[in-house]
Amino acid sequence: CLDEEGKVHEFQSGWRTEDCNDCSCDRNGIQCCTSYVTPVNYDKEKCESIFNKKTCSYKVVEKNDHSKECPVHSWVG
């Protein structure tokens, strides 16, 4: 399989892209999906979500103090 960056992948292989997508290759082609979940139900006035590309994950913290995490009531992904 040839991915969008021009890299060749063997059939039945899997990899993670720089954009945090998990991809796999088989004889039908390449399939990719996000490797992370996104926070959707939290106090957006008091808090903000920050994406960490190294860990491919979101953290929800207070806008005025990033050392304090906020509760998240639901995630999608």
pTM of the model: 0.76
Q: Is there a single domain that holds both residue 29 and residue 4? A: yes
Q: If 0-12 CB within 10 Å is exposed, 13-18 middle and 19+ buried, where does residue 39 land?
A: buried
Q: Is there a single domain that holds both residue 16 and residue 42? A: no
Read off the pLDDT of residues 45-72 as tens digits, 9 standing for 90 and up: 999 999 999 999 999 999 999 999 999 9
Residue 5 reports pLDDT greater than 90 = no
CATH number assigned to the domain comprising residue 71:
2.20.25.590
**pLDDT given at position 4:** 86
Q: Is there a single domain that holds both residue 17 and residue 31? A: yes
Range of the domain at 69: 38-76
